Amino acid sequence: MIDTEILIIGGGAAGLTAAIELSQDRKVSVISKEKIVDSSTWYAQGGIAAVMGEKDSIEEHISDTLEVGDGICNKKAVSHCVKNSKAAIDWLIEMGVNFTKTKDGEKLHLTQEGGHSKRRVAHSKDTTGKEVSNSLIQKARKIKNISIHENHLAVDLIVQNEICLGAYIFDKEKEEVVTFKSDATILASGGASKVYLYTSNPDGTSGDGMALAWRAGCELSNMEFNQFHPTCLYHPEAKSFLISEALRGEGAFLLNHENERFMKKYHKKNELAPRDVVARSIDEEMKKTGKDFVYLDISHKPKRMVLKSFPAIYEKCLTFGFDITKDKIPIVPAAHYTCGGIKTGLSGETNINKLYAIGETACTGLHGANRMASNSLLECIVFAKSAASHIKKNFCFNGKKLKNWDSSKVIKSGENVLISHNWDETRRLMWDYVGVVRSSDRLLKAKEKIKVIEQEVESFYKNFELNSDFIELRNLVLVARIIIESSILRKESRGLHYNIDFPGKLKKGKPSTISRKTVKAV
């Protein structure tokens, strides 16, 4: 058993920010399921939205976020996040993050992305997430009060009388479950985009935090809103490599196979329309033409500008035979971001005492029905700092005695075919039945199919020893079911959720809330 004051499950921007803030007074244990760099933060390209331009304002950033969120944003969460955006950037600079600056070196260079009315996205070339991740990791490793446990995966939270007392954590190297006792626990484990067959996310985004929270009795909100990034590289070996929205912000065109700029048919902002609109437009163009992809083209821009602004994307595309300064880039939408998650307050607090959730695994209501570009890393920093502040003010020690994990009644599995088969079947099911465009019939079929898979998985869980692949599968299947059930509840089309049987929008938008105890229809 490991006794720690603060247990943080997840080592991306949100988890590390909270760890650094809390380490001033408390001993912190950070759990990372892979190496600490293997988070969605590290893969983020675009940047971090904040009000810093002379012609910009907090009111405009709030207004843009609310518009993209399509009527169900939590206005208090939006206001809190945007008002603290400049402070978040300043703190990251203090942590060593090297943002790209203007030619004179006096100010941060700001780009514009979809949904934003102004240039307000601070970035580090086209590898902002990598820069943020590396800076925070370096800082955290130097702090004595922070212990980083890599290759550890949470199995379940330990909850008594609706109070979280710690978690059971699987040590992947020793292949054993360790009990972590804590005085406060933070879920910062990222999203659930790996539930889909095609995703821009790293392999670890299997919805672990959401599944842990669900089993512990937490409420989840807006799980039907899955953002599909419109532009991921289409290539059999590319694993849906993300092509940053910043390309469209700098003037890249979307073209169909007739070389036509088709976005003008769908939205007044053309290529800079909100992501849900762009993804559905691409989906419709693909269905009209019967093609598996469309094109993104920035070759009409000066080569020098392209190479300076997008060096990593240029090099990556070149390895697959595409020179973006000359060639059109074949692209396709892919699952990118989970707008819903564990329902929290403005300080990351859940309905379970001493349990917090921050970052993509949480749902503060900031994103509503659709996330505006580059608000996600901002959310990680702002709400992690808010959660840390709340924990400091309300900290009290956990005097409870905990039982260690009991694996005496299970046997070792001799084969993993169930894991690989159900992993693949779940992701294909979600892609085909619960994707960019949905229907009531497909959703109901998906619900029946996922029930069968979940029953098989739970039977395996009760009878066989754990391994890391199975722990992820168990979480993935549960989150898939929650997404399906949340999608069935919403009898309208709003934001990222588009149902052809309910194409209209209700007069008053409401967030969805679902838990093991309660299901609230929308």
List residues bridging with 84 in a β-sheet.
Answer: none
Residue 128 and residue 13 share a domain: yes
Q: Give pLDDT tens digits for 43-82.
A: 888 899 999 988 999 999 999 999 999 999 999 999 999 9
Looking at residue 512, its pLDDT comes to: 95
pLDDT at residue 522 is higher than 60: no
pLDDT at residue 520 is higher than 80: no
**For range 163-180, the mean pLDDT:** 96
Residue 480 and residue 370 share a domain: no
Residue 343 and residue 331 share a domain: no
**For range 23-34, the mean pLDDT:** 96
Residue 485 counted as domain residue: yes
Residue 54 counted as domain residue: yes
Neighbour-count burial for 230-250, b at 16+ CB within 10 Å, e otherwise: bbbbbbeebebbbbbbbbbbb
Q: Give pLDDT tens digits for 328-353.
A: 999 999 999 999 999 999 999 999 99
Residue 275 and residue 291 share a domain: yes
**For range 246-251, the mean pLDDT:** 92
Handedness of CA 102, 247, 241, 18 (dihedral sign): positive
Looking at residue 137, its pLDDT comes to: 98
Nearest to 337 by CA among 298, 299, 379: 379
Please report how the helices 468-489 and 417-433 are oriented relative to each other, as an axis angle in degrees rounded to 10. Answer: 20
For 433, list phi and psi in degrees, rounded to 5.
-110, -20
Residue 104's CATH number: 3.50.50.60
Residue 491 and residue 387 share a domain: no
Residue with tokens 């998906």: 446
Q: How confident is the model at residue 411 (pLDDT cuts 50, 70, 90)?
A: low
Looking at residue 463, its pLDDT comes to: 83
The single residue of 120, 248, 275, 280 carrying the catalytic annotation is 275
200 or 225, which is more confident = 225
Q: How many domains does the chain have?
A: 3
415 or 19, which is more confident = 19
CA dist 449 to 207, 318, 389, Å?
19, 41, 43
Looking at residue 79, its pLDDT comes to: 98
Looking at residue 47, its pLDDT comes to: 94
Residue 238's CATH number: 3.90.700.10
pLDDT at residue 120 is higher than 60: yes
Residue range(s) defining the domain that contains residue 119: 2-151+339-394
Residue 314 and residue 389 share a domain: no
Residue 491's CATH number: 1.20.58.100
Looking at residue 401, its pLDDT comes to: 86
Q: Give pLDDT tens digits for 257-280.
A: 999 999 999 999 999 988 888 999
Looking at residue 54, its pLDDT comes to: 84
Q: Strand 176-181 to strand 163-171: parallel, antiparallel, or no bridges (unpaired)?
A: antiparallel
Neighbour-count burial for 390-406, b at 16+ CB within 10 Å, e otherwise: bbeeeeeebeeebeebe
* Residues whose CB is less than 8 angstroms from the CB of residue 298 and which lie 6 or more positions away in sequence, other chains included: 247, 250, 251, 252, 253, 306, 310, 324, 325, 329
* Percentage with pLDDT > 70 across the chain: 98
Decide if 475 contacts 206 (C-beta within 8 A).
Answer: yes
SS3 229: strand
Residue 143 and residue 44 share a domain: yes
Residue 128 and residue 20 share a domain: yes
Q: Give pLDDT tens digits for 304-320.
A: 999 999 999 999 999 99
SS3 332: strand
Q: How confident is the model at residue 114 (pLDDT cuts 50, 70, 90)?
A: confident
Residue 16 and residue 134 share a domain: yes
Q: How confident is the model at residue 29 (pLDDT cuts 50, 70, 90)?
A: very high
Residue 444 counted as domain residue: yes
Residue 139 and residue 21 share a domain: yes
Residue 245 and residue 133 share a domain: no
Q: With DSSP H G I counted as helix, E B as strand and the rest as coil, what are the percentages for the chain, rounded to 5?
A: 40, 20, 45
Residue 170 counted as domain residue: no
Residue 132 and residue 246 share a domain: no
To the query of whether residue 275 is one of the catalytic residues in this protein, the response is yes
Residue 403 counted as domain residue: no
Residue 223 counted as domain residue: no
